Structure 1
Amino acid sequence: MSAPLRLVVFDVDGTLVDSQADILAAMAHAFERADHPLPARDTVLGIVGLSLDVAMTRLAPELDAARHGRMVDWYKEAYIALRAEAGAAQSSPLYPGALEAIEALHGVPEILLGVATGKSRRGLDKLLEAHDLRRYFVTQQVSDHHPSKPHPAMLQAALSETGVSAADAVMIGDTSFDMEMARAAGMAGIGVSWGYHPRTSLRDAVRVIDDFTELPACLNLLWETAE
């Protein structure tokens, strides 16, 4: 009997790449342009993964929708400039072991890979191109086409595109939004401890790993338990 088709979906910022320096700098630019106090570093990193419009509303709830929209534009303006100056590969470097984990999973015939990210299509394209990752991911879900995490739309689309059942899929991410999204989609969620949310916030994860080398055994255990 052949093994069932599996789907592994990765978050991007805080999971595959560390883009916090540019995120913090771009957010500082947006708040400076808005003449509004910048929230604390941990507060800013706590919204990573959300779509920018939702993130701005959470970070500056006292401002109106028009100003939030301008702040999104200012953020994008600064982020694009920072990425252009350093190059996306240097601006958002891969975490140690990320590429090796992707390559190893890609080499397993019954495993398909995807991404679900709060990035825009343009932002994800730049990142995948910079790290030469596009060929690995058969499904790519971005903020342009879906409600913000933790709404399950991204994962539902990934399941639909690949034909994989939720029981045979897993979401890997660093934030509570990723884990809540997985739960809402009926999928298991594996948290990673090296990202932008504290380990304690990943309560919806079936497991939390501290290094990419732990991922294969974690997936094997998860799927063996499900069978």
Structure 2
Amino acid sequence: MTHLRLAMFDVDGTLIDSQHTIISAMTIAWSRLDLGTPKPDHVRQIIGLSLVEACAMLLPWATPATHRAVAEAYKSAFHTLRLMPEHDDPLFPGALAALDQLETDGWLLGLATGKSRRGVEAMLDTHGLHGRFVTIQTADENPSKPDPSMLHRAADECGVAIANVAMIGDTSYDMAMANAARAAAIGVSWGYQSLEELRGAGAKVVLDSFENLTRVLDSVIGERSCVPPQS
């Protein structure tokens, strides 16, 4: 069991550049509920959280019922935007090649995302990624990041020791989740939070491109396998 290695990927801001759709959907949701207009920078900061938690962070003064209403309006708006002919949430450069290389090197691949199961399925359809990920953890089955449940559940499903699990993500929520789970925290610089936020949340390494991902993962997991597990 211990020789298996699992690379878990965040989706929005790590594999795909979806910020424009997310900001547009949140703007529509606020408009439908007469809440004004959210600031794009504020919306970018909550990408990665589960939807109701994200709405609560954006609207800390509002009631839980309002947070849920905004979440439902967002889901409706996002679904509508996704069906438009001009919709495009592209893979970041090098993402597909990195997935190919990791599979060639024997890594298991998984997703840990604040997206819904429906949203993940749509992303897999769009980019032809069905069958690539042996475990998919979404907001529908797990507490929001940074709770470690997604990574613990993924490791259990795959029979992988947590010391051999790496979380690759673009937000402090991903890094905090990885550290809470005692997995390796690997940040990426091309997403929606800053280098300082990633390092402050415990990123072991922050990548500037997918090109070095396989080498970095081999190095980090190799180092961790030499360290006795904490009690």
TM-score by length of 2: 0.93
Q: Which residue of 1 aligns with 2:222?
A: 224
Whole-angstrom CA distance in 1 between matches of 2:2 and 2:55:
44
Cα distance, 1:223 vs structure 2: 2.5
- Equivalent in the alignment of 2:104: 107
Consecutive unaligned residues of structure 1, counting only runs of 5 or more, are: none
Task: Quote the residue 1:185 is aligned against.
Answer: 181
CA contact (8 A) 2:2 2:164 kept: no
Structure 1 residue 41 displacement after superposition: 1.4
- The count of residues paired between Structure 1 and Structure 2 equals 223
Give, in whole Å, the separation in 1 of the partners of 2:43 and 2:69. 17
Letter in 1 for 2:168: I
Matches within 5 A, 1:79-158: 79-86=78-85, 90-109=87-106, 111-158=107-154
Q: Which stretch shows the higher mean deviation, 32-41 or 204-213?
A: 32-41
Residues in 2 aligned to 1:184 and 1:33: alpha-carbon distance in whole angstroms:
37
Whether the aligned pair in 2 keeps the contact of 1:191 and 1:205 (CA below 8 Å) is yes
In structure 2, C-alpha distance between the alignment counterparts of 1:54 and 1:188, rounded to whole Å: 24
List per-residue Cα deviations over 1:4-29 (Å, max 9, x = no partner): 11000000000000001100000101
Structure 2 distance, partners of 1:211, 1:200, is 17
Q: Does 1:23 align with 2:19?
A: no
Distance 1:154 1:216 in 2: 22
Contact residue 146 and residue 177 of structure 2 kept, 8 A: yes
Could you tell me how far 1:106 is from its partner in structure 2? 1.2
- Tell me if the contact between 1:170 and 1:187 (Cα under 8 Å) persists in the aligned partners: yes
**1:19/1:92 contact within 8 Å kept:** yes
Q: Which amino acid aligns with 2:52?
A: D
Q: Aligned partners of 1:225 and 1:175: how far apart in 2?
A: 23
Q: What CA distance in whole angstroms lies between the structure 1 residues aligned with 2:31 and 2:140?
A: 26
Offset at 1:108? 2.1
CA distance in 1, matches of 2:183, 2:14: 18
Post-superposition offset of 1:3 = 8.4
Name the SS for the 1:25 alignment partner. helix
Comparing 158-167 and 59-68, the one that deviates more: 59-68
CA–CA separation in structure 2 for the residues paired with 1:112 and 1:221: 16
Residue in structure 2 matched with residue 10 of structure 1 by the alignment: 9
Give the Cα–Cα distance (whole angstroms) in 2 for the partners of residues 31 and 192 of structure 1: 30
SS at match of 1:145: coil
